[in-house]
């Protein structure tokens, strides 16, 4: 791994209707998946759990996260850097999306349908170029099955869908901290 590479964990958060939750950090213009850098000794799932809780207020058992894969992409908010992202997915159950709140360094969070995400937003390369095409190109689940997740040390280093008023579409509802 070169010095211009950042290792992160990124989480695809989807509600039961396949809407996607993206966040925007303070002082940035780009929507990204919730996630962040692992702490020493933390497993990928533990990093996902901590980062999703810190950024959205959602608290999941680590067994709810399913592996998508590991991908390299240009960093969205650090010019000249790339990221190596361990990507996971968590699907919300009915009612859980109502509990989402922008927290920590998050200025805005928003729900988007996959089509809206493809057309209407400024999203990070990891999401726009890698994760979103997987969602759009398949009718099957993005993640076929859960896998055992290595630790960072092993790697070396009751509401239906998002809250909406009548007539609103996903993506119309944003919440700022």
85 falls in which pLDDT band (50, 70, 90)?
very high
For the chain, the structural domain boundaries read 5-140+169-176
DSSP string, 27-84: T---BB-SEEPPPTT-BHHHHHHHHHHHHH-----GGG-EEEEEEEEE-SSSTT-EEE
Average confidence score pLDDT of the chain: 82
Give the rounded distance of the alpha carbon of 146 from its chain centre.
Answer: 17
Fold of 5-140+169-176: Nucleoside Triphosphate Pyrophosphohydrolase (3.90.79)
Give the pLDDT of residue 100.
Answer: 93
Q: Average pLDDT, stretch 43-65?
A: 97
Give the rounded distance of the alpha carbon of 55 from its chain centre.
Answer: 10
Q: 90-147, pLDDT tens digit by residue?
A: 999 999 998 899 987 999 999 999 999 998 899 999 999 999 999 998 644 444 333 4
- pTM of the predicted protein model: 0.78
| CA pair distance 152, 155, nearest whole angstrom | 5
């Amino acid at each position: 791994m070169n010095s211009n590479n950042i290792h992160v964990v990124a989480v695809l958060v989807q509600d039961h209707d396949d809407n996607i939750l993206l966040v925007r950090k303070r002082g940035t213009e780009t929507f990204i998946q919730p996630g962040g850098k692992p702490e020493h000794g933390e497993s990928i799932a533990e990093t996902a759990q901590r980062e999703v809780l810190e950024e959205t207020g959602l608290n999941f058992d680590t067994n709810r996260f399913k592996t998508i894969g590991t991908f390299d992409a240009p960093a969205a908010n650090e010019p000249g850097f790339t990221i190596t992202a361990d990507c996971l997915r968590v699907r919300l159950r009915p009612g859980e999306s109502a509990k989402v709140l922008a927290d920590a360094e998050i200025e805005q969070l928003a729900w988007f349908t996959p089509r809206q995400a493809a057309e209407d937003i400024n999203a990070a390369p990891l999401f726009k170029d890698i994760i979103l095409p997987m969602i759009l190109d398949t009718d099957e689940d993005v993640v076929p099955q859960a896998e055992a997740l290595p630790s960072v040390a092993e790697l070396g280093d009751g509401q239906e869908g998002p809250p909406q008023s009548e007539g609103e579409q996903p993506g119309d509802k944003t919440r700022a901290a």
